[in-house]
A and B are shown apart, each in its own frame.
Chain A
Amino acid sequence: MFELFRLLGNRKLFILLIVIVLFVALMGVTLGDRIGLTWPEKFVKDTVGFTQRIVNKPAAAVSGFFEDIADLNAVYEENENYRVQLVELQRQVIDYRKLKTDNENLQKDLDFTEMQKRNANKYYRFAHVISVNDDVNNPTVNIDVGSKDGVAVGQAVTSIEGMVGIVSTTTDYTSTIQLITSLSLTSPDSYAIAATVTGKADTFGIVESYDKNKKRLLMTGIDPNKTKLEPYDTVVTSGSGGVFPAGIVLGEVMQVTPSEFGLTETALIKPTASFVEWKELFVVIPGVDPNEGDDTP
């Protein structure tokens, strides 16, 4: 034993070993699900988040300006399209209101529990992206809303196109999002997203991993006896399980293959979110929007 110590007689090597052990312990302790953050972490995150917000604002403005110039040619055509879509949208809003009141009345008649009602409602909290971590192994994005704005760990985050990630930690004024490109079966903090296809109500599958080589989400456990999934079907969250509210767009089905054991099917889904160009994101918060008074029955 003492021979070994003499071999390790180099004091620095010994310190290095101790440091390695300490860091491995730190990594192990902070791995996976944690209940809240300690106050030094919150303090650092909030302070850095504040300065990042200051730095980010002019940067986003300047880059937005250049993009605007690049987009200038397409503006007229876009406007034309938007005008047509707006008229259509107004027509649909009227339909939607009617359906919504019908639905609420039916829910009341059928004695829905508070939990079920809460899951049926959701609202989108607007957020600016203040910083991006480009780490391939652990991609995260920080946004400028926090627990004071009603954001909580585990809520879904979308861009205009589709689901981007899941809130992994919150402080008072900022929160960190883990992108769904880091979803993995083996990872210690994994999420399973219950998914279905729009227009095919009996389809069901679970999205819980992302294939980095093919750049596709994997939707597993699809029952082959139910309605078949076809390419270009839109996959949305189903809302069952109660973790994520229903109706968040995940992506498009690209290919359906039998799973390993042949009992179920696996679909490859192309995420609609691009994961490269973010300025604004939306946090999907279950429940009724507190700023909107007229929603209460």
Chain B
Amino acid sequence: MTWRKQFLVLLLFVIFLIDGSVLPWFLPDAWMPHLMPNLVFVCVLFVSVYRHRYAGMVLGAVFGMLHDVVYYGAMLGPYSFTMGFTAYVLGLIFQLPKAPLPVMLTVVMLGSFILDSMLFGIYTVFNFNEQTYDWALIQYIIPDLLFRLVFALIIYVPIRRQFDKMPLRPKKDEKE
């Protein structure tokens, strides 16, 4: 039954590819300046709620670093840090193998909000943007939140089914 885990990582990579190479060609042009889909992050949040916060943290950090390296423009690290950190914190608070749909959606909304706000903060500290937080909030943080919420709704049932089939071994996960 171990193949499910490997499959999950592979699936995350496929979603990462879709994120950058397929979605921009199908989203309406008017949405483009307001969205940074980052669908991998939503899946990472699922992992840290239904599996374990450490698994979520590691996946978040690894895929964040992948994002940083592949789209390297300004600096390495912001995505890796924020995705890992957010997945860990939300896992710490909400980790519950039987979490119902409303809880999961709340986690996605909170996570999306924290991720975008932290990114905004990091880029502001390093002088990459001179916009105000209000502007960022309306321009992309809230649209992002809604987009990721819809994506979470779509993938909730299939992912939940897979996680329920996966045997939960908290002791072993603790060591990861």
Q: Which of B25, B70, B140 contacts A45, CB < 8 Å?
A: B70
Q: How far is the CB of B39 from chain A (nearest CB, A)?
A: 11
Q: Does B2 contact A (CB under 8 A)?
A: no
Q: How far is the CB of B18 from chain A (nearest CB, A)?
A: 7
Q: Does A10 contact B (CB under 8 A)?
A: no
A188 touches B127 (CB 8 A): yes
Q: Which of the listed residues A27, A134, A279 has the most CB atoms from chain B within 10 Å of its own CB?
A: A134
B73 touches A277 (CB 8 A): no
Given contacts A55-B17, A131-B70, whether A27 and B24 have CB atoms under 8 Å apart is: no
Q: Mark A14-25, 1 if CB is under 8 A from B, else 0.
A: 000001100100
Query: A52-B17, A136-B140, A137-B119 provided; 9 other pairs, C-beta below 8 A?
Result: A51-B17, A131-B21, A136-B33, A137-B74, A140-B71, A140-B72, A187-B74, A187-B127, A189-B74
Q: Give every chain B residue within 8 A of A212 (Cβ-Cβ).
A: 129, 131, 135
Q: Does A169 contact B (CB under 8 A)?
A: yes
Which of the candidate stretches A176-184, A252-260, A261-269, A284-292 sits at the interface with the other chain? Answer: A176-184
Q: Mark B69-83, 1 if CB is under 8 A from A, else 0.
A: 111111111101100
Q: Does B130 contact A (CB under 8 A)?
A: yes
- Chain A interface size, under 10 / 10 to 19 / 20 to 34 / 35 or more: 35 or more
Q: Does A93 contact B (CB under 8 A)?
A: no
Q: Give every chain A residue within 8 A of B70 (Cβ-Cβ).
A: 44-45, 48-49, 131, 142
Q: How many residues on B have C-beta within 8 angstroms of the other chain's C-beta atoms?
A: 42
Q: How far is the CB of B130 from chain A (nearest CB, A)?
A: 6
Q: Which of B76, B123, B139 contacts A30, CB < 8 Å?
A: B76
Per CB-CB distance, the 7 closest pairs between chain A and chain B, nearest first, are: A131-B20, A133-B71, A140-B73, A137-B123, A56-B21, A63-B25, A30-B76
7 A–B pairs (Cβ distance < 8 Å), ordered by A = A20-B81, A45-B70, A45-B72, A134-B36, A178-B74, A187-B128, A276-B33
B73 touches A139 (CB 8 A): yes
Q: How far is the CB of B19 from chain A (nearest CB, A)?
A: 8
Q: Does B35 contact A (CB under 8 A)?
A: yes
B71 touches A135 (CB 8 A): yes
B72 touches A169 (CB 8 A): yes
Give chain A's interface residues, CB within 8 Å of chain B: 19-20, 23, 26-28, 30-31, 37, 41, 44-45, 48-49, 51-52, 55-56, 59-60, 62-63, 130-140, 142, 168-169, 176, 178, 182, 184, 186-189, 212-213, 274-277, 279
A184 touches B72 (CB 8 A): no
Q: Give every chain B residue within 8 A of A135 (Cβ-Cβ).
A: 36, 71, 119
CA–CA, A27 and B127, complex, Å? 12
Nearest A residue to B36 via CB reads A134
Q: Mark B135-176, 1 if CB is under 8 A from A, else 0.
A: 110011000000000000000000000000000000000000
Q: Give every chain B residue within 8 A of A178 (Cβ-Cβ).
A: 73-74
Q: Mark B21-61, 1 if CB is under 8 A from A, else 0.
A: 11011100100110111000000000000000000000000
